[in-house]
Amino acid sequence: MRTLLKKLTASVLALAIILSSSTFAFAAEATNASKLNDLGLLLNVTDAELSAELTREIGLTMILKSLGYTQADADAAVATSPFTDVKGWSAGWAALAFSKGITVGTSATTFAPTAKLTEKEFVAFQLRALGYDTTQAWDNAATLAVSAGLVSAGDLLDATTYTKTNAAEVMFAALTATIQGVTPAVKMIDQLITKGVTTEAKAIAAGVKSAYVPLAVSSITALNLNQIVVTFTQPVDETSAETAANYSLGGVDLTTDNKFELQADMKTLVINLDVAKTQYAKAIFKVKANVVFGDNASVETVPTLSQEMTFSDVAVPTVKSVTVTGNKKLTVEFTETVKIPAAFIAAAGTKFKIDGQYLTNMAFTSATAINATANAPVYANKIELNFNTAIAAGAHNLTVLEGNTTDLIDAAGFKLSEQVIGFTVVSVTNAPSVVSVAGETNGTIYVTYDRSMDTSALTETSYKMNGTVLTVVGTFKTGTNDTVVKFTGVPSISTGANVLTIVKDTVKDSYGNKLNSSEDSRISFNASNDTIKPTVTSVSALTNTKVRVKFSEAVANAYAVNLANYKLKDSTGATVSLSIAPAAVGSTPTDTYDLTTPALTGSNYTLEIKNIVDTAATPNAMDTHTATFNGKDDVAPTVTEALQIGASPSQKVAVLFSEAMDTATLTNSANYYYIDNAGTPVTRALPGGTTIVAGPDNKSVEITFPSSYQVNGAAATEYSVIKIVTGNVKDIAGNMLSNISSTNVIAAAGAGTVKPDYVTDTFKLTSASGKVTAEFELDQNITALAIADFQVAGQTPDSGYISGKKIVLEFTNAAKMTAIKAAGTGAQLTSVAQTSTNIYGTIITAFAAKNVYEDMIAPSLLTITAGADASKVNLKFSEAVDATILGLYTDDFTVESGGQVITVSSVTITTTTVANDTLVLNLATPVVTSVSVKADANKISVKDLGNDIAETANMYSPATSDKDGTKGALADTYAPQIVTMTENGTATVLTVTFNEAVNAAAAVVNGNWTFTPAGPANPIVSVTLSADGKVATVTLTGAALAGDALLVGAAVVDSAANAPDADFDNGTRGAGAAGAGAYTID
């Protein structure tokens, strides 16, 4: 990546190099500098500025500004600076870089801001900006810079003077480098676009990002007789691209007996066929609709493509390459698949030579056919050769011996000739090192090494997290050439500082060099607490029975496989039943799950996903997400039946299909034939004058023959039509009719077997304008509706009508409406008769009782009555109300009595007609006169049970009479009661206090009071009543004695003519007569 200008020098680089701007582009050598300027990532690109030497403070600030940091960020960091030698404009930038791990200074307290910047220093800054370990970015700067693509191989980073042009080359290369420790992998330019530092358009113009191309199949090619190459326009997901069921050949789905390998460009798929084709054979190869996921956040899908291909092979197979991995493995790749049977694998030591020696003489251990087909003869395009001891470093020759009729021969019969191919084993004897460690509190760790590692790097016992030995085996991260090890499900990662220990003498690179043999390696890293909720990034159908859900991050498996967290509906809103738990794609924890579903061949399905949590130490729960997606129709349609339309004689036939069909092929008369009733039946083309009309939803077709023809005619002539032959008709997705054609006997009119049936979860109840309405859907259009075929909650409809597939039943009878409302969510739709018919006269099917899917009838207040005593008021509703939130109901209603508001202390529930239909308001003070109950519309919490299938609760909405108290005006039915009775000092005058006013005329009549002495007679002399009618004064002849009783007669009533109670609640109760009250003297 160096340029000639790297060695140029200049005297002074002013601060203006960073702070001012210019649009002048440096020529030839400054191409990348000018591109950075266009991107907004580098200022000042004049000749003088680009050729001037950089200082440490200027080079560091260039890096920070290219990352999007601003002067405000620098100002905020200046107070935290550990450096005592940085003053002025760069103090904040140096402090910011230190806080981000981009610099550690020249010592703990110094940065040397004005010192000349060296090449290694700048590259180390850039590596750290890419997320590489702070220490490794310096100690192994040259190795890491080459692997990251920042500099060319062989660059020792030894330049001691460094210009802005030199820096621009590294900065530009860094844009396409991968950020370390980030999942999924992301390039720096994409991160900068996401942060708004630059734009996608500018990135495309600068050549650091490709312009968007819709994901599609760009080509399908037959390489030979048993290899097919599929090329996509964009990188695709490896798992789905290598799924056999996503492809078919000659109308037959491919199986896992064939082998699929997505190449390193992630856009080219090579398929090795298990069964080879013959020379010049033709077959249609199909990439199924929308089944291969694009490698992007939106999970774009590949449109279907079918292409006829011709298989041929006139080329002799050769060795394409020999790849060396470490010093103990060779991979030989051929230009095409050749036979590599088990016998060849077993004898591989005698089939290859290195430097003239058979492998059996060189500690050869095993061979493995790569991408091998399943059945004999086995074809593969690669073979892996493994050795027990290292192949000596240096140049070697591999000899591949000539093939024969069973080995190394292609499907066309061309055998491999003996070939000698050179290869080189690199001498690597130094110890590998750890480039970086990144961890997340969700239990994921990434350990990045500086080279390809041996499988010992995956051993869990070689690592400790914060002193605890790992218990999960690692995996090599895909696409990293075995340099990055990923561990998931590690429980001991803490928020903040952590230490990963690699046990000494346990981990080796692919050359056999040990990481460390003298002491354990300890690498510190920070893990931030994850507070971000997981989201659903995509929902799409892989096949018509498999839906893939991708989350923004790995999620907890126990939640992701819980079916209760998913609800699938079709385009009509009907629930699609799910019975198989979702399956994780790959090892858990993962961000991808597959749902197994019934066949989804339609469009506009919705999937609701809720309650899923991530794997953070403190799990974050997702917000409920609803996604819309289309199904995958790769199922061939069928003819379900053929029906005569109308009574005989008839000229009409209906042909019914299993799904909606393509209009053009459905109504093409050339796709239909008939069989006559002649002595020897003949298949004939439709006669001239025949008309064809598509039926409802394109799921049927009506064929009308000329008047001289008769459907199911008895005459043995060619004019009697008894069977219909259908062929070459396609469904909307382009699938041809099963078996290409179908022959069907024409059933008699009204004898159809495909009957209209109830569509799941479509039964709904509503109430408005003085009627209750029930609606539901059938899967076919109805033309003749008999409302008596149906009942709701046992009630027969009063009227009804048809709206396409929807049946609407109406109830206006008061008793019926009351019954349906009282049933609430327990209301059922029942099929009690089957006389309604579809357009072809087929009667509806008898279906089992259906529970209401969505009860949209809100509870209404029917009556307000007096309770069991003066402290209770009963409110009866039209249906059961929610008894789980009674505490919320205490302020829903206001109770007034005697001009005062009575406090509702609590609410309980009881049953009047149906369970839990009556609320009991428990009053803090008993009422003594008429009562008014008013609903407070602003505080209502009363709702019904909400236990219908849709889980929709309806809130009580008070009527006007509920709110103004006219419905809740209760007459005074409460008997007057004696509150207290006292006596004067001589016990000859008794003072009786009532809880309400009593009738004055009756109260002062001595005869309406009875004094029952315990001893001698003691007649009443007189009775007087206070002005408010509540206090009576009874004067006796003599003194009252203990045990005497005073009885008030039934004539002493309140203003509502309620007689006194025979029983009082205060003091010792007397034995008064019925309808009267007694009080015993104590």
pLDDT of residue 1068: 32
CB pairs under 8 A, 24+ apart, for 1061-1066?
A: 1061/975, 1061/976, 1061/977, 1064/977, 1064/978, 1065/977, 1066/978, 1066/979, 1066/980
Mean pLDDT across the stretch 785-800? 96
Helix count and strand count (H, E) for the chain: 19, 66
Model confidence at 292, pLDDT cuts 50, 70, 90, reads: low
CA distance 191 to 283: 45
Check if the beta carbon of residue 699 is closer than 8 Å to that of residue 661.
yes
pLDDT of residue 814: 94
Check if the beta carbon of residue 255 is closer than 8 Å to that of residue 262.
no
**Is 172 strand, coil or helix?**
helix
Share of the chain above pLDDT 70, in %: 93
Which of 125-129, 939-943, 968-972, 1033-1037 is predicted with the least confidence, judged by mean pLDDT?
A: 968-972
Mean pLDDT across the stretch 1028-1036? 92
Query: pLDDT digits over 340-350, tens only?
Result: 999 999 999 99
- 176, HSE (Cβ side, Cα atoms, 13 Å): 15
Query: pLDDT digits over 428-481, tens only?
Result: 888 898 888 888 777 888 898 888 898 899 999 999 999 999 998 998 886 677
DSSP sequence for 996-1059: S-B-HHHHT-GGGEEEE-SSS---EEEEEE-TTS-EEEEEESS---TT-EEEE-TT--BTT-PP
Q: How far is residue 463 from each of residues 131, 452, 460, 467, 622, measured CA to CA in Å?
A: 22, 18, 6, 9, 32
Check if the beta carbon of residue 130 is closer than 8 Å to that of residue 122.
no
Q: How far is residue 434 from each of residues 258, 486, 502, 522, measured CA to CA in Å?
A: 39, 13, 10, 10
Burial class of 555 by CB neighbour count within 10 A (0 to 12, 13 to 18, 19+): buried
What does the buried/exposed string (b/e) look like for 610-645 if buried means 16 or more CB atoms within 10 Å of the residue's CB? eebbbbbeebbebeebebebbbbbbbbbebbbbbbb
Domains annotated on the chain, with CATH? 4-206 (no CATH), 217-311 (2.60.40.1220), 319-425 (2.60.40.1220), 434-527 (2.60.40.1220), 536-629 (2.60.40.1220), 639-747 (2.60.40.1220), 764-852 (no CATH), 861-970 (2.60.40.1220), 978-1080 (2.60.40.1220)
pLDDT of residue 430: 86
pLDDT of residue 1070: 34
Residue 29 sits at φ, ψ, to 5 deg, of -65, -20
Whether the per-residue pLDDT at 230 is higher than 60: the answer is: yes
Whether the per-residue pLDDT at 239 is higher than 80: the answer is: no
CA distance 324 to 386: 11
Query: pLDDT digits over 500-549, tens only?
Result: 999 999 999 988 899 877 889 888 887 766 777 888 988 888 888 889 89
pLDDT of residue 985: 83
Of the candidates 295, 250, 251, which has an alpha carbon nearest to the alpha carbon of residue 269? 295
Whether the per-residue pLDDT at 24 is higher than 70: the answer is: no
Check if the beta carbon of residue 690 is closer than 8 Å to that of residue 683.
no
Query: pLDDT digits over 376-417, tens only?
Result: 899 999 999 999 988 998 999 999 999 999 999 999 999 999
**Is 200 strand, coil or helix?**
helix
Whether the per-residue pLDDT at 301 is higher than 50: the answer is: yes
pLDDT of residue 1034: 92
**Is 817 strand, coil or helix?**
helix
Respond yes or no on whether the N-terminal peptide bond of residue 619 is cis (omega within 30° of 0). no
Share of the chain above pLDDT 90, in %: 53
CA distance 918 to 907: 10
Assign residue 371 a region: left if phi > 0, alpha if psi is -120 to 50, beta otherwise? left
Residue 447 sits at φ, ψ, to 5 deg, of -110, 115
What does the buried/exposed string (b/e) look like for 868-903 if buried means 16 or more CB atoms within 10 Å of the residue's CB? eebbbbbbbbbbbbbeeebeebbebbbbbbeeeebe
pLDDT of residue 289: 65
Q: What distance lies between CA 1033 and its chain's CA centroid?
A: 81
Q: Regarding predicted confidence, which is higher, 624 or 925?
A: 624
Mean pLDDT, all residues of the chain: 87
Mean pLDDT across the stretch 991-999? 88
DSSP 1069: B
